[in-house]
Chains A and B, each alone.
Chain A
Amino acid sequence: MDSLIQLSYFVAAALFILGLKRMSSPVTARGGIVWAGAGMVVATLITFLWPQMHNFGLMTAAIAIGGGLAWYSGKKVAMTDMPQMIAIYNGMGGGAAAAIAAVELLGGEFHSRTFQVLAVVGALIGSVAFSGSMVAFAKLQGLMKKSFVFPGQQIFNLLIFGGALVIGFLLMGADHPGSSGILVFFGLALLFGVLMTLPIGGADMPVVISLYNALTGLAVAFEGFVLGNAAMIIAGTVVGSAGTLLTQLMAKAMNRSLSNVLFSGFGSAAGTSAEAGSQGVMKEIDATDAAVMMAYADKVIIVPGYGMAVAQAQHKVWELAQLLEERGVSVKFAIHPVAGRMPGHMNVLLAEAGVPYDKIYDLEEINNEFPQADVALVIGANDVVNPVARSNPDSPIYGMPILDVDKAKNVICVKRGKGKGFSGVENELFFRDNTRMLYGDGQEVASKLINEIKQL
């Protein structure tokens, strides 16, 4: 029996790795998640045969409750809300790892001191990932609007963390750790996760979620050592290292370092320093002229931003693109790495509208095509097309890679109002000679453009 269980875990671990590998290419990605899912089913079913277990009724009920709720919420959630859903599921994983550690510590039967140490470390990481992810969820869901900052915050956080560490060390050394000590330890660890996440702004949240994802993986691996479960060790470690790499890639795409994200509230430092006051005037255009401009162009590049997704305009925009293509216009979509709420999020939103992924181009792929484009249509994007990032070293967004939209022959910016972008920086693009502003809600504007083009 034991070798059957071990064999199943081995198969599951192999399926996880193969699944993740397939998920790293858009062509095979769909199959990847199915493979990994099959591995999960095999591992879960075989675990019912684990020797010397009881409480099967409770176990089945818990799986039904947790699985049912997650199934329902996962099916229902809108694509725009995907980041916070990932955060909450990830937090659950961290919480589960912490719960395993709690049960093991309360039981107090460890085969060796090493396992006890790993259990405590995994508990700490898992708890932080759990409560931190919940705060990240609340922030992205809009339940918690403001960044929570107070003087001496970092020192206070450090004290809480230090307290958790000290009690953690005591737990590692104790032969039969007392339940009150265990309780205080988990309390402090959970509190630290909350405090650490509170001051981080919404724009940086994806990086933080990715980091907690990696941490949960690590916690799972550590608890896997404690339980002697190879599938948990391998899956957890793979996610731990893959998640760390993914976190770095995301931070790099946002032009921030990880420590910068974790230890400085965004926006608070980015003062409105040395802004050149009047940079000229914004020139308006109406939908009719914009439609003519695009319909008779050879090449149009559409640059969507999160504003488009908020306006739920992606379907209309894709309809517009198809209409243009029927007239022989070459249409491409240019996506900035941080468009949307997390890297790659905009691709998901466009895919939802039915845009094929080979019409969508990354920043490096498309940037040298802007000079040949007759029209660049910017919808709901702002900071990621601001030329200030190239030219003005005083700007808070200086150095961030941007889409060189301003190099197109004509730029049409669809915008709801005259406000600034997320970073609060004035967008120089809007004042350029080749830029025209088209005011209105993204979906309405797209519908108007479609109607105008149909009448041509």
Chain B
Amino acid sequence: MIEGFTALYIFMLAGFTGYEVISRVPVILHTPLMSGSNFVHGIVLVGAMVALGQADTTLERVIGFIGVILGAGNAVGGYVVTERMLEMFKSSKGAR
């Protein structure tokens, strides 16, 4: 369990990291990058799995089940479309 100030520090450092990683990105990559970051929060799948794994009542199971479907959709869909877009970016020199 991550608690108190440790959590707060993680939050702050991760926030700065996200900002730094994205700043100075050329416009040509805005769409793929949005798609890529959309994929990264697909990690919510992991949380939904844990929630479903600890569900006891029927209602909890149903909601957890929907949660995992949605999370898996986010992760897989985000990956597929980002990969498809980035695959097409080629230089005229043929180098990659």
Contacts and interface: CB of A to CB of B under 8 A. Distances in A.
A241 interface: yes
Contacts of B56: 107
Contact of A237 (B14, B30, B39, B92): B14
A413 interface: no
Contact of A55 (B2, B55, B76, B81): B55
Interface in A26-47: 26-27, 29-30, 32-34, 36-37, 40, 43-44, 47
A34 B80 CA distance: 10
Contact of B76 (A70, A104, A354): A70
Given A24-B21, A89-B81, A106-B57, A220 B34 contact: no
B7 to A, nearest CB: 6
A397 to B, nearest CB: 19
A335 B29 CA distance: 12
A216 B41 CA distance: 7
Contacts of A347: 27-29, 31, 89
Interface residues of B, number: 85
A456 interface: no
B92 A358 contact: yes
Interface string B1-23: 11100010011001111110111
A21 B21 contact: yes
Interface string A397-441: 000000000000000000000000000000000000000000000
Given A44-B49, A100-B48, A242-B37, A344 B75 contact: no
Contacts of B84: 74-75, 79
Interface stretch (A60-68, A153-161, A377-385, A445-453): A60-68
A62 B36 contact: no
A343 B21 contact: no
Interface residues of A, number: 121
A243 B66 CA distance: 25
Nearest to A223: B47
Interface stretch (A170-178, A188-196, A228-236, A291-299): A228-236
* Most chain B beta carbons < 10 A, residue from A12, A34, A351: A351
B27 A62 contact: no
B21 A58 contact: no
Contacts of A65: 69, 72
A237 B18 contact: yes
Contact of B46 (A47, A241, A342): A47
Judged by DSSP, the binding face of A is helix
A352 B51 CA distance: 40
Interface in B23-76: 23-57, 59-61, 63-76
A92 B70 contact: yes
Contact of B53 (A24, A59, A231): A59
A71 interface: yes
Contacts of A61: 65
A99 B40 contact: no
B55 A85 contact: no
A124 interface: no
Given A70-B73, A230-B10, A90 B38 contact: yes
Given A20-B36, A75-B80, A348-B32, A232 B46 contact: yes
Contacts of B31: 82-83, 86, 340, 342-345, 347-348
A405 B21 CA distance: 33
B43 A40 contact: yes
Nearest to A247: B34
Contact of B37 (A231, A232, A243): A243
Contacts of B72: 62-67, 70
A83 B36 CA distance: 13
Nearest to A212: B38
Contacts of A73: 77
A288 to B, nearest CB: 30
A84 B49 CA distance: 26
A93 interface: yes
Given A107-B54, A358-B93, A66 B73 contact: yes
5 contacts: A16-B40, A58-B52, A66-B71, A213-B34, A240-B15
Given A20-B40, A95-B70, A220-B43, 8 more contacts: A62-B52, A64-B72, A79-B85, A99-B51, A100-B48, A217-B40, A237-B18, A358-B91
Per CB-CB distance, the 10 closest pairs between chain A and chain B, nearest first, are A99-B67, A53-B53, A74-B80, A66-B72, A70-B77, A356-B92, A344-B30, A241-B18, A62-B68, A237-B14
Interface of A: 9, 12, 16-17, 19-21, 23-27, 29-30, 32-34, 36-37, 40, 43-44, 47-48, 50, 52-56, 58-59, 61-71, 73-75, 77, 79, 82-83, 85-86, 88-90, 92-93, 95-100, 102-104, 106-107, 111-112, 179, 209-210, 213, 216-217, 220-221, 223-225, 227-243, 245-246, 249-250, 253, 335, 337, 340, 342-345, 347-348, 351-352, 354, 356-360, 362
